[in-house]
């Protein structure tokens, strides 16, 4: 019986992907060190799906643990979500980010090669296009230089994986470049549960709406955009999860020596103010806000050209902004303290 190994599967995107895989009756094994997640997310995934997840608490940096997991199961593929993701923290602790995200991937791929597991889907990011890139970002454009150590880790891992494929014709890789995942499973039982003050817009809006924070800070209202606030390509996390399944299905059918990147976004930019207004209209909850100075490193606007995933993977995002808002609110209002409830 073949399994799929999900690293970081207790996290935000990982848990939603595990749920979609279980709904398709796939056998899933998760490894997560719970550095930014709760075991409760997987308990809930089991509750929603009525299926079991095999879970190992530990790090992809732990060679012995990986070797033991790879010896116990026959894996058809690995989806590699595990990594630290806070841009600001990566500027303060670059070595921790290079160690965890880059070395963690090297150790994981070594274990895959040792055990002859040849299909890898990697969580990359739109940040690899760099700050000079012109939107919409398309996979054929030259990659830039991300400004943060976090972004650098994604670019480095993509380069390392390309080199591994060149050196080993059996190995196959898909790099999925995510845009801005938001929303939550429609059950309202799993969702994004950031620790501390959220770095991203959507959990910040949701926490203000639920009364955990007094007001939303909007960083910058003088950008060269229609309403002066930053524009991003927001994608529902369930659409994103299904993008992984489409990528995996495609990858296993390919001949050897594949290293392909796909943008996972909707192709439509939304400004911060537009997201906020849609949230208020869809949920009937007011969110007080104030404008604050721009944050270092924030780009005015970027979004995906999402055509390649549509043509090649037969995948495109289905859920609109209202659904993203309603689903976020269902999760946040039912779980004001996230998984700590
Ligand atoms: N959320 C986004 O906006 C976004 C955008 C682009 C790319 N990504 C990437 O997608 C992946 C998943 O993101 P997410 O939003 O679900 O983040 P998340 O923090 O919720 O999930 C990452 C998971 O990996 C685990 N983890 C971290 N280091 C580990 C290690 N060494 N061994 C085992 N587990 C480890 C964490 O505990 C967490 O559960 C990350 O690699 C992230 O960089 C996220």
* Mean local confidence (pLDDT), 181-208: 95
Listed residue (336, 337, 341, 273) closest to 301, CA to CA: 273
Is residue 189 a part of any domain in this protein?
A: no
Domain count, the chain: 2
Tokens of 190: 């799993």
Let me know whether 135 and 253 are in one domain.
yes
φ/ψ (deg, to 5) at 77: -165, 165
Is residue 193 a part of any domain in this protein?
A: no
**How long a stretch of residues is the chain?**
341
Q: Which residues contact 68 (CB under 8 A, 6 or more apart)?
A: none
Listed residue (235, 302, 311, 221) closest to 269, CA to CA: 302
Tokens of 299: 């780009």
Q: Which helix (H) or strand (E) holds 46?
A: helix 39-49
Is residue 188 a part of any domain in this protein?
A: no
CATH number of the domain enclosing 325: 3.90.25.10
Let me know whether 29 and 116 are in one domain.
yes
Let me know whether 172 and 207 are in one domain.
no
* Mean local confidence (pLDDT), 158-169: 97
Band (pLDDT 50/70/90 cuts) for residue 341 is low
Is residue 330 a part of any domain in this protein?
A: yes
Let me know whether 260 and 276 are in one domain.
no
Let me know whether 87 and 218 are in one domain.
no
For the chain, state the CA radius of gyration.
19
d(CA 83, ligand 1 centre) in Å: 5
Residue 31's alpha-carbon distances to 10, 40, 47, in angstroms, are 8, 14, 19
* Mean local confidence (pLDDT), 216-223: 96
Residue 175 near residue 124 (C-beta atoms within 8 A): yes
Let me know whether 101 and 29 are in one domain.
yes
Is residue 61 a part of any domain in this protein?
A: yes
Which residues have C-beta atoms less than 6 Å from ligand 1? 7-8, 10-14, 31-37, 59-61, 81-85, 100, 104, 123, 125, 178, 180-181
Let me know whether 102 and 135 are in one domain.
yes
Let me know whether 79 and 61 are in one domain.
yes
Let me know whether 211 and 240 are in one domain.
no
Name the active-site residue from 12, 97, 137, 150. 150
* Kind of pairing between the strands at 231-232 and 270-271: antiparallel
* Mean local confidence (pLDDT), 73-80: 98
Residue nearest to atom 12 of ligand 1 (CA): 81
Let me know whether 135 and 205 are in one domain.
no
d(CA 150, ligand 1 centre) in Å: 11
Q: What pLDDT is stored for residue 147 in this prediction? A: 86
Q: Is the pLDDT of residue 146 over 90?
A: yes
DSSP conformation letters of 148-176: SHHHHHHHHHHHHHHHHHHH-TT-EEEEE
Is residue 196 a part of any domain in this protein?
A: no
Is residue 192 a part of any domain in this protein?
A: no
Is residue 187 a part of any domain in this protein?
A: no
CATH number of the domain enclosing 15: 3.40.50.720
Domain that includes residue 209, residue range? 201-232+268-304+314-340
> Cα separation of 221 and 195, whole Å?
27
First to last CA, the chain: 36
Q: What is the distance, to the nearest Å, from the Cα of residue 167 to the centroid of all Cα atoms in its chain?
A: 28
> Cα separation of 154 and 105, whole Å?
10
Q: What pLDDT is stored for residue 256 in this prediction? A: 84
Let me know whether 17 and 81 are in one domain.
yes
Tokens of 246: 């489409």
234 flagged as catalytic? no
The model's pLDDT over 272-298, given as tens digits with 9 standing for 90+, comes to 999 999 999 999 999 999 999 999 889
Let me know whether 319 and 253 are in one domain.
no
Q: Which residues on neighbouring strands pair with residue 231, listed in sequence order? A: 271, 301
């Amino acid at each position: 019986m073949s399994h799929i190994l999900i690293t970081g599967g207790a996290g935000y995107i990982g848990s939603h992907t595990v749920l979609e895989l279980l709904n398709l009756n796939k056998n899933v094994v998760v490894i997560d060190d719970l550095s930014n997640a709760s075991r409760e997310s997987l308990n809930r995934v089991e509750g929603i799906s009525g299926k079991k997840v095999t879970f190992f608490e530990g790090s992809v940096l732990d060679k012995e643990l990986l070797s033991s997991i790879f010896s116990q199961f026959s894996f058809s593929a690995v989806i590699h979500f595990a990594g630290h993701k806070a841009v600001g923290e990566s500027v303060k602790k670059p070595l921790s980010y290079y160690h965890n995200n880059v070395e963690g991937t090297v150790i994981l791929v070594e274990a895959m090669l040792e055990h002859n597991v040849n299909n890898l889907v990697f969580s990359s990011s739109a940040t690899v296009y760099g700050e000079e890139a012109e939107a919409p970002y398309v996979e054929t454009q030259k990659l830039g230089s991300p400004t943060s150590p976090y972004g650098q880790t994604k670019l480095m891992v993509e380069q390392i994986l390309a080199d591994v494929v060149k050196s080993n014709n059996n190995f196959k890789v898909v790099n999925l470049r995510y845009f801005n995942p938001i929303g939550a499973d429609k059950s309202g039982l799993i969702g994004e549960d950031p620790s501390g003050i959220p770095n991203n817009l959507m959990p910040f809006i949701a926490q203000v709406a639920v009364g955990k924070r007094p007001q939303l800070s909007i960083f910058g209202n003088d950008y060269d955009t229609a309403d002066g606030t930053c524009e991003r390509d927001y994608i529902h996390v369930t659409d994103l999860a299904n993008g992984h399944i489409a990528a995996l299905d495609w990858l296993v059918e390919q001949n050897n020596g594949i290293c392909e990147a796909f943008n996972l976004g909707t192709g439509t930019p939304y400004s911060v103010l537009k997201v906020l207004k849609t949230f208020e209209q869809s949920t009937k909850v007011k969110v007080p806000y104030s404008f604050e100075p721009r944050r270092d490193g924030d780009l005015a606007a970027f979004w995906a050209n999402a055509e390649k995933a549509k043509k090649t993977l037969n995948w495109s995002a289905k859920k609109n902004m209202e659904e993203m808002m309603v689903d976020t609110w269902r999760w946040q209002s039912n779980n004001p303290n996230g998984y700590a409830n």
